[in-house]
Chains A and B, each alone.
Chain A
C-alpha cells in the first residue's frame, strides 16, 4: 500500500462520487421547482412530491458521504509518512498517517447541506417552512456542485501535501527535513487533532439547525403566528448549545496549534463571537416574546443572526487571517 493506491482511491472517488452529486443537483432543481409551486399554489400534491424529493436528495447526500468516508479510510491506509532519522530525535513519533476529518476544504459545505437536509426531514412538519427550506436547500446544493464540489478534485490541499511529500522523497531532496517537519505539524495539530474532529462538525450541525430558526423567523414576520416562533426557538436551542460548546472547544486547540501565530482578534474568530453574541441577544430578547410585540423584534433578530452566520462562514473566503484561504 502506498502512493499509487492512494491515487487509485482518489480516482475512484471522482468516478463514483461525481455522478451522485450530479443526481443531487438534478433532484435539487426539481425540488426547487416543486417548492416554488407549492408556495405559490398551496397544492398538497406538490408538497407530497417535495417530501419525496427531499428524501431522495438526503439519501443521495448520505450515499455521497459514505463514498467520502471510504476515501478518507483509504487515505489513512495508503499514505504512510516515515520521518527521516534526524527528525525522529525531535518528534515523539517515527511515522504518521492522515486521519482526515470529513468536513474540511471542499467537503465543508457538503457536510453542512447534508446536515440541513436531515434536519428538514426530521423537523416538525410545517408545510410552508419545509417548502421554503426546499428552496434554500436547492440553492445550497447548486453552490456545492459548482463552487464546493468534494468529488471533482478531492481534498486539493491535502492532495498537494501528499504528492509534494512523495515527490520530495523520490528526489532524495535535502529539503526533506523541512517538508517532514511541516507535515508533522500539519498532521498532528490539524488533520489528526481531536479538536478538528469535534469543533467543526458541532458548528456545522449548529448552522444546519439555525437555518431552520431563520426560516421560521421569516414566516413569523409573514404570518404573525406564534407557532413559528416556537419552531424558531426549538431549533435555536439546539443550535445555540452546539454553537457555544463548539466555539469554546476551538480555544484550547488554537492555543496548542497556533502558539507562535497571530490569531487573537482574527476575523473568523471576531465573526464567530459576533454571531454568538447576536444569538445570545436573540435568546435573551425572546424571554419577553409576549410583551410589546417583542416577537417582531426577536424575529428580525433571528434573521440578522442568520445573516451574521452566513457572513462568518464566508469570512474564510473573503478576508485574510489565520482561518482564511485568502492571501492579502
Chain B
C-alpha cells in the first residue's frame, strides 16, 4: 500500500513537471509569434494585438486547468482517501468542461480556481490547528505550513490574473498572494531556520 501510495505521488509529480514544461513551451511559442508579428512596428495598436492575447490565453488556460487538477489531486490527498479524491477531481473537471462550453474557458478556470482556493484555505486552517485529519508527505509543522501557504498563494495569484484583472481590489489581492507565496517558499525551503526563529517544533 505504501509503495502504491508512493507510486501515485511519484507519477503525480512527473505529470506536474510535464504540465509546467508544456506551459514553458506555450511561452516560447508566444515569444516566437510576437517576434513574427512585430515585423509591423505598429501592430500592437491594431486589433491583431488583442487577437494575439486571446489566442495565447486560449493556449495557456487548458494547461492551467490541468495544473490545477493535478494540484487538486495533490492537495486534498492530505484530507481525503484516494478513491474519493479521484471522484472529486473527476467531478471538478466535469463541471469545468461543462462551464467551458456554456460560459467560456475563463469562467471555467475561475470556477476551478475558486474550488482550489476553498480547499487550500480549509487545509491551511487544519494545518494551523495541527489537525491530524490532514496528511503530508513531509514531516514538520513549518514545512506543512509553508507548502500550504505556497499553494494557496499560487491559486490566489492565478485567480487574480485570470478573473479579477478589472476588479478594484486587484492589487491588494495580488499583494496577499505574493506575501503567501514568498512566506510559503521561505517556510518550505528553510524549515529548520524558521523553527529555531519561532522556537516551534
Q: Do A and B come from one complex?
A: yes
Q: Given contacts A244-B185, A251-B174, are A265 and B23 in contact (CB under 8 A)?
A: no
Indicate if the CB atoms of A245 and B178 lie closer than 8 Å. Answer: yes
Using CB atoms, name the residue of chain B closest to A273. Answer: B27
**A contact residues around B98 at 8 Å (CB):** none
Chain B contacts with A in 137-196, Cβ cutoff 8 A:
137, 157, 171, 174-175, 177-178, 181-182, 185-186, 189-190
Chain A contacts with B in 207-245, Cβ cutoff 8 A:
237, 240-241, 244-245
Using CB atoms, name the residue of chain A closest to B14. Answer: A285
A252 to B173 Cα, complex, angstroms: 11
Stretch from A37-45, A73-81, A158-166, A313-321 at the B interface = A313-321
Q: How far is the CB of B159 from the nearest CB of chain A, in Å? A: 14
Q: Given contacts A244-B182, A285-B17, are A265 and B53 in contact (CB under 8 A)?
A: yes
A240 to B171 Cα, complex, angstroms: 23
A319 to B40 Cα, complex, angstroms: 13
Contact of B185 among A240, A262, A319 (CB under 8 A): A240
Contact of B40 among A280, A288, A328 (CB under 8 A): A328
Q: How far is the CB of A28 from the nearest CB of chain B, in Å? A: 32
A237 to B191 Cα, complex, angstroms: 12
A124 at the interface (CB under 8 A from B): no
Q: How many residues of B contact A (CB 8 A)?
A: 39
Indicate if the CB atoms of A288 and B10 lie closer than 8 Å. Answer: yes
Interface string of A254-293 (1 = CB under 8 A from B): 0100000010111100110110011011001101100110
A104 at the interface (CB under 8 A from B): no
Indicate if the CB atoms of B34 and A267 lie closer than 8 Å. Answer: yes
Contact of A270 among B20, B31, B185 (CB under 8 A): B31
A248 at the interface (CB under 8 A from B): yes
**A contact residues around B131 at 8 Å (CB):** none
A148 at the interface (CB under 8 A from B): no
Using CB atoms, name the residue of chain A closest to B33. Answer: A265
Using CB atoms, name the residue of chain A closest to B178. Answer: A248
Q: Given contacts A255-B171, A319-B31, are A237 and B189 in contact (CB under 8 A)?
A: yes
**B contact residues around A291 at 8 Å (CB):** 10
A265 to B182 Cα, complex, angstroms: 24
Q: How far is the CB of A299 from the nearest CB of chain B, in Å? A: 14
Using CB atoms, name the residue of chain B closest to A240. Answer: B185
Interface string of B96-129 (1 = CB under 8 A from A): 0000000000000000000000000000000000
A308 at the interface (CB under 8 A from B): yes
What is the count of residue pairs linking A and B with beta-carbon distances less than 8 angstroms? Answer: 101
B30 at the interface (CB under 8 A from A): yes
**B contact residues around A320 at 8 Å (CB):** 34-35, 38, 41
**A contact residues around B39 at 8 Å (CB):** 328
Using CB atoms, name the residue of chain A closest to B18. Answer: A281
Q: Given contacts A271-B31, A315-B31, A328-B41, are A244 and B21 in contact (CB under 8 A)?
A: no
Indicate if the CB atoms of B31 and A281 lie closer than 8 Å. Answer: no
Interface string of A84-125 (1 = CB under 8 A from B): 000000000000000000000000000000000000000000
A265 to B190 Cα, complex, angstroms: 33
Indicate if the CB atoms of B30 and A281 lie closer than 8 Å. Answer: no
**B contact residues around A237 at 8 Å (CB):** 189-190
Indicate if the CB atoms of A267 and B30 lie closer than 8 Å. Answer: yes
**B contact residues around A176 at 8 Å (CB):** none
Chain B contacts with A in 17-56, Cβ cutoff 8 A:
17, 20-21, 23-24, 27-28, 30-31, 34-35, 38-41, 44-45, 49, 52-53, 56
- Most chain-B CB neighbours within 10 Å: which of A274, A278, A280, A284? A274
Interface string of B65-78 (1 = CB under 8 A from A): 00000000000000
A327 at the interface (CB under 8 A from B): yes
A288 to B10 Cα, complex, angstroms: 7
| Nearest 5 A/B pairs, CB to CB | A262-B44, A274-B27, A281-B20, A237-B189, A270-B30
A-B contact pairs, 18 of them (CB 8 A): A241-B185, A241-B186, A244-B181, A248-B157, A248-B178, A262-B44, A270-B30, A270-B31, A274-B24, A277-B20, A278-B20, A281-B17, A285-B17, A287-B137, A319-B31, A320-B34, A321-B34, A327-B41
B residues sitting closer than 8 Å to A (CB atoms) are 9-10, 13-14, 16-17, 20-21, 23-24, 27-28, 30-31, 34-35, 38-41, 44-45, 49, 52-53, 56, 137, 157, 171, 174-175, 177-178, 181-182, 185-186, 189-190
